[in-house]
Chain A
């Protein structure tokens, strides 16, 4: 079966009953975001597993890793911190990363079940649909992050109160960056089964080759090459942006990097989801031959 160009499908849907203008955009945005939230609420296991994963790292892994920080004071901290405190922004990054990838998994799933066709036949611009989808999945991440921070508070991870507010924009931005990356990846995955590959080739390298678990100066001590890799890892910048924001500070270098990576990933995702130009058609478009 030949792939059906989705753009043509959307044209057939246009008619007098379709609301346009701002209200239409809002309705569309609400629909997409609400679907993400609903999907999340209906999957309690997903919420639990998203929470248990960083907590396991916090309670077990961090306990055995206390010496890794040595005796240095690492900005934004103004004094010595326990490893649990250091690793918390990294674990927040982990929540965002896994959630973004899970959302990418759901895109593949949507494609297999045909739900994506409904999304893509919408008369609204594709970039708008994709960004709405991203915002939806980021909103879900935020809920998880704040629940995690609440539990961590009782584990003596007590950032300044103001930090809980200033971290919000950093979380949104990092969530969008990782979500855009995941969206792009989802466009090149053919089947659900390939998600394991995403784990191995994207999530793990991104997470481990970053400043999430160890300070970069420690990595430089053991491997200058790995240090350079970590510095170019978008995830490192997301973690540092969150780390500084949680302590009511701004790290302009990380902000610039995260903004730039978000723009690049988003452009790539929009391009990849464009049926006339992108990778979707070639890789097996919705309803198309796999």
Chain B
């Protein structure tokens, strides 16, 4: 047993305590569970059973619903985010991996990895609105802040597909580096950042011209270039800093959005996959696939403060504002 200094307790009382408590949901791909973490105590408060191979995870209805891609059950499950009770299944098409909700809260765009389509689902009615054919092995999904453009990335075609959300038709395709995994719009909607897992880069694409305007490469002392596999991307609301999960490099890169320069690499757990900010953007949670934990980054200080054990193969993460 190890005791803390009483001095520490005293010092902690003097420190500003984060008043805003948030609930963090982490999908554990191998355990078929979702771990629930309190963002203040950083303890796992509950673990709930969900469908098979849960991956993509998001909130809908202003945080009322928790949506989970149960990939091997070929469905999207809806849970009550507060009571954690199962509500319903949504049709998703086969093997849903990642999805994104339209900024208005409906519909849901789901990438179907095995079928090379994006399924558009009305979450209220639980019906499929349409299916949009895209490249081979679609995965990354991003929607512009104004909701007009949807970007899907296809892992094998190595493209970012631009889709008009009114017509639900592809309007352009931009070639990026090998195995694009994730698409994230800048808050002003002018750029979309696409991470390429095998290429080891993040492509920055101008949304208006749909031309690549920059590319971020990574280099970490003591880490083999092959191990640098960018996946999850998150950009702060002020559009100044981007965080990129680098997979088996076990690092999260911090990038200055204006200059596209990597400012710092933060050591987290193994095979870091997806990222999620708390609503106040003070904390960033990372899912570490093979070390079965979640690391917490202090966004202001750019320090990893703690790693918390969750289930096996944590994949997706979302933070609810309660």
- Which chain A residues have a beta carbon within 8 Å of chain B's beta carbons? 63, 66-67, 71, 73, 75-76, 78-82, 158, 162, 166, 244, 248-252
In contact, B5 and A166 (Cβ under 8 angstroms): yes
Tell me, rounded to whole Å, the shortest Cβ–Cβ distance linking B46 to chain A: 22
In contact, B291 and A71 (Cβ under 8 angstroms): yes
CA distance A252 to B267 in the complex (A): 29
**A–B complex contacts, Cβ < 8 Å, 6 sampled:** A79-B304, A82-B267, A166-B8, A248-B11, A250-B2, A250-B3
Q: Which of B262-308 contact A (CB under 8 A)?
A: 267-270, 290-291, 295-296, 303-307
Please give, as numbers and ranges, the residues of chain B lying within 8 Å of A252 by CB-CB distance.
1-3
Please give, as numbers and ranges, the residues of chain B lying within 8 Å of A80 by CB-CB distance.
250, 267-269, 291, 295, 304, 307
B222 within 8 Å of A by Cβ? Answer: yes
- Number of A-B pairs whose CB atoms are under 8 Å? 58
CA distance A71 to B268 in the complex (A): 10
CA distance A76 to B3 in the complex (A): 11
In contact, B307 and A79 (Cβ under 8 angstroms): yes
Please give, as numbers and ranges, the residues of chain A lying within 8 Å of B11 by CB-CB distance.
162, 248
Q: CB-defined interface of B212-228 with A at 8 Å, one 1/0 digit per residue?
A: 00000000011000000
**Contacts A63-B222, A166-B7; A249 near B307 (Cβ below 8 A):** no
Please give, as numbers and ranges, the residues of chain A lying within 8 Å of B305 by CB-CB distance.
78-79
CA distance A66 to B224 in the complex (A): 13
**Contacts A71-B269, A80-B269; A66 near B4 (Cβ below 8 A):** no
State the main secondary structure of chain A at its contact with B. loop
- Chain B residues bordering chain A, tally (CB within 8 A): 24
Tell me, rounded to whole Å, the shortest Cβ–Cβ distance linking A258 to chain B: 15
Please give, as numbers and ranges, the residues of chain A lying within 8 Å of B296 by CB-CB distance.
79
In contact, B306 and A250 (Cβ under 8 angstroms): no
- Which chain B residues have a beta carbon within 8 Å of chain A's beta carbons? 1-5, 7-8, 11, 221-222, 250, 267-270, 290-291, 295-296, 303-307
State the main secondary structure of chain B at its contact with A. mixed
CA distance A71 to B296 in the complex (A): 16
In contact, A162 and B268 (Cβ under 8 angstroms): no
In contact, B1 and A250 (Cβ under 8 angstroms): no
Tell me, rounded to whole Å, the shortest Cβ–Cβ distance linking A125 to chain B: 34
CA distance A78 to B297 in the complex (A): 12
CA distance A248 to B296 in the complex (A): 20
Please give, as numbers and ranges, the residues of chain A lying within 8 Å of B5 by CB-CB distance.
166, 248-250
CA distance A176 to B245 in the complex (A): 46
CA distance A80 to B305 in the complex (A): 9
Measured CB to CB, the nearest residue on chain B to A82 is B267
Cβ contact of B4, chosen from A63, A78, A81, A250, cutoff 8 A: A250
In contact, B2 and A75 (Cβ under 8 angstroms): yes
Tell me, rounded to whole Å, the shortest Cβ–Cβ distance linking A45 to chain B: 32
In contact, B222 and A66 (Cβ under 8 angstroms): yes
Tell me, rounded to whole Å, the shortest Cβ–Cβ distance linking B38 to chain A: 16
CA distance A233 to B67 in the complex (A): 54
CA distance A71 to B271 in the complex (A): 11
Measured CB to CB, the nearest residue on chain A to B297 is A79
**Contacts A79-B268, A79-B295, A81-B267; A248 near B4 (Cβ below 8 A):** yes
CA distance A81 to B267 in the complex (A): 7
Measured CB to CB, the nearest residue on chain A to B295 is A79
The 10 closest A-B pairs by CB, nearest first: A79-B307, A78-B306, A66-B222, A79-B304, A248-B8, A71-B291, A80-B267, A250-B3, A79-B306, A71-B270
Known: A80-B250, A80-B291, A250-B2. 18 other contacts (CB 8 A): A66-B222, A71-B270, A71-B291, A73-B307, A78-B307, A79-B296, A79-B304, A80-B267, A80-B268, A81-B267, A82-B267, A158-B303, A162-B11, A166-B8, A244-B2, A248-B7, A249-B8, A250-B3
CA distance A164 to B319 in the complex (A): 34
Cβ contact of B2, chosen from A67, A78, A162, A249, cutoff 8 A: A249
Tell me, rounded to whole Å, the shortest Cβ–Cβ distance linking B243 to chain A: 16
Please give, as numbers and ranges, the residues of chain B lying within 8 Å of A67 by CB-CB distance.
222
Measured CB to CB, the nearest residue on chain A to B291 is A71
Tell me, rounded to whole Å, the shortest Cβ–Cβ distance linking B164 to chain A: 43
Tell me, rounded to whole Å, the shortest Cβ–Cβ distance linking A91 to chain B: 19
Please give, as numbers and ranges, the residues of chain B lying within 8 Å of A66 by CB-CB distance.
222
Interface core residue of A66, A158, A250 (most chain B CB under 10 Å):
A250
Measured CB to CB, the nearest residue on chain B to A244 is B2
Cβ contact of A249, chosen from B4, B268, B295, B304, cutoff 8 A: B4
Tell me, rounded to whole Å, the shortest Cβ–Cβ distance linking A115 to chain B: 41
Please give, as numbers and ranges, the residues of chain A lying within 8 Å of B268 by CB-CB distance.
79-80
